[in-house]
Amino acid sequence: MTDKQDRIELFVVVKGHAFSRDGLEDMLRAIGCEPTFVDQPAAAVLLNPEQMRRYDALLFYDMPGLNFRAPAAERPGFIAPPEYFTRGFEGLMAEGKGMVMLHHAIAGWPAWPRYAEAIGGQFLYRDAVIDGAPRPDSGYLGEVAYTAKIADPWHPVMAGLPERIDLVDELYLQQVFDDPAIHPLLCLDDEVAPERFHSARRAVQRLGAGEGEPWHPDRLNPLLAWAKPAGNSPLVYIQPGDSTQTYECPYYRQLVGNAVRWVASDQAREWARRS
């Protein structure tokens, strides 16, 4: 049993997407974390260097800045983050606070491009221009059995993991930016046709077959997890993480535990500052 003083004090930001709170908390405690859960929008008020001083790292499992109650044709509405959040988040990145972004967190704050830049990618609920090129809205495919392959077995986040991991989880057809600072960690080892995915925009606008404009999905980027500097902060994004079944997978727990401990380390902060 890990002593309290050896546990990672982890600030966990949630809300915006259904999940098993008990399941997520059980996983985080099992991997040596002492999690403090705070829901959005309250979490946004606290995300600044002063309030986060006591925490070793931050974990984002939220999806803020989206209004799913907007009129159907405009859904989801995009909500700009409050100034106190953007100021606080910039301060955390300048300070070098370690961050782990899980699964749907990549869809957060679409009205503030700086947030997606920090993560290194974006799940799109609307068509957008990415790296100067038009891109369609993103797609999702639930409860897919797939194999993930380690991209860098020497990285600390991959320590103790086998070359391949079998998962049953939701896959995203999302944008991964053309950013040389992105360090690949995990990639999809299966062929999944883009046509199998469901359009995020059509789903939230509740469009049936034949209604509205057709969806032409983008190609599937196989990258599932990566590390990158976000300002001076070491950041890890992990795309798997939709279900209790995934939380209970020993290899997934190892992956998340490694990521949290790495971003909390002096080694990772030094890497981010040098990158």
Token readout for 219 is 């190609």
Dmax (CA) for the chain in angstroms is: 58
Q: What range defines the domain where residue 31 resides? A: 4-274
DSSP classification of residue 212: S
Please, are residues 2 and 48 in contact by the beta-carbon 8 Å criterion? no
pLDDT tens readout for residues 104-123: 999 999 999 999 999 999 99
Whether 9 shows a pLDDT value over 90: the answer reads: yes
pLDDT tens readout for residues 169-182: 999 999 999 999 99
What pLDDT shows up at residue 131?
86
Total number of domains constituting the chain: 1
Per the DSSP assignment, residues forming a β-bridge with 129 are 134
> pLDDT-derived band of residue 4, with 50, 70 and 90 as boundaries?
very low
What pLDDT shows up at residue 166?
96
Q: What gap in Å lies between CA 215 and CA 181, rounded to an integer?
A: 31
Please, are residues 123 and 139 in contact by the beta-carbon 8 Å criterion? no
pLDDT tens readout for residues 50-75: 999 999 999 999 999 999 999 988 99
pLDDT tens readout for residues 182-222: 999 999 999 999 999 999 999 999 988 778 888 999 999 99
SS3 26: helix
> Among 264, 249, 203, which residue's Cα sits nearest to residue 55?
264
User: Mean pLDDT across the chain, nearest whole number?
Assistant: 95
Q: What gap in Å lies between CA 101 and CA 119, rounded to an integer?
A: 8
pLDDT tens readout for residues 11-52: 999 998 889 999 999 999 999 999 999 999 999 999 999 999
> Among 123, 117, 11, which residue's Cα sits nearest to residue 61?
11
> Among 105, 92, 109, 79, which residue's Cα sits nearest to residue 14?
105
**CA dist list (Å): 65 to 78, 115, 200:** 6, 11, 16
Whether 129 shows a pLDDT value over 90: the answer reads: yes
Q: What gap in Å lies between CA 138 and CA 176, rounded to an integer?
A: 11
> Among 87, 131, 139, which residue's Cα sits nearest to residue 112?
87
Tell me the one-letter amino acid at 248. E
Please, are residues 107 and 63 in contact by the beta-carbon 8 Å criterion? yes
Please, are residues 105 and 24 in contact by the beta-carbon 8 Å criterion? no
Q: What are phi and psi of 173, to 5 degrees?
A: -100, 90
What pLDDT shows up at residue 5?
53
Whether 2 shows a pLDDT value over 70: the answer reads: no
The domain that contains 266 carries what CATH number?
Answer: 3.40.50.880
What pLDDT shows up at residue 17?
87
Q: Tokens 């947030």 appear where?
A: 115
Whether 89 shows a pLDDT value over 50: the answer reads: yes
Residue 40: CB partners within 8 Å, gap ≥ 6?
Answer: 13, 14, 15, 16, 62, 64
